[in-house]
Structure 1
Amino acid sequence: MDEKEELTVKSFEEFSYFDNLALYYLCNETPPQTLALAFLIGDNKVCGSMLGVLEGKRREYVHQLMVEQKDTEIAKKESAVQGLLIIAEGLITRRLIEKKVNSITELNVSFLR
């Protein structure tokens, strides 16, 4: 496996391995509209964790957008998820967050100081 492949975040569910600070960075780098669309089809636990790291007013705004955008076509929601994956990859590439494999089955993504 080459280094680039190892760093790639391949699915929305992989965000469950991010620590809260890494999620905070990811959520703050992502436009609220993108978060809202992605949360409409993303894993509920991951979405809850990501909403939990948002500041109050931003969280309320994302919730409002989710209500407004619930009937948006699925292709736009899937594009939003892809956008989140690209933003996460950018944070890893810029070394703002780090993806480490601790064992065969365990993955950890954390904020780099």
Structure 2
Amino acid sequence: MSKAKSEGLARARAIALSSLAEISDEEDAALTAAALSDADNPPRGDQDPRLLRPATEVAPELVAAWRGRATEWIELELDRDVLEKFRATGPGWQQRLNDVLRRAVG
């Protein structure tokens, strides 16, 4: 993990933890009551964690969709002008480059 990403995660964690300290007892009770009334997502309570199953067993199709296509990191030399044109298209340029290569190989 890059240093910048690590620092970003640390900042996000600190913000999340500090927001917990700002919740009053009344707000906490209201949030708990709302969670308890959610029939689609009941609290786990004291359920034995050993009874839980991995998402890959419970909903493999959702895990596969989340993971997307299998990719592999490689080092590849490209002409600078080609790379600049793809980068200029904005976020997602790597996927667009992959799509062009996929069409080229059939």
- Give your verdict on TM over 0.5: no
TM-score (norm 2): 0.25
User: Which has the larger share of strand?
Assistant: 1
Rg larger for: 2
Higher RCO (CA-CA < 8 Å; seq separation 6+): 1
Give TM-score, length-normalised by structure 1. Answer: 0.24
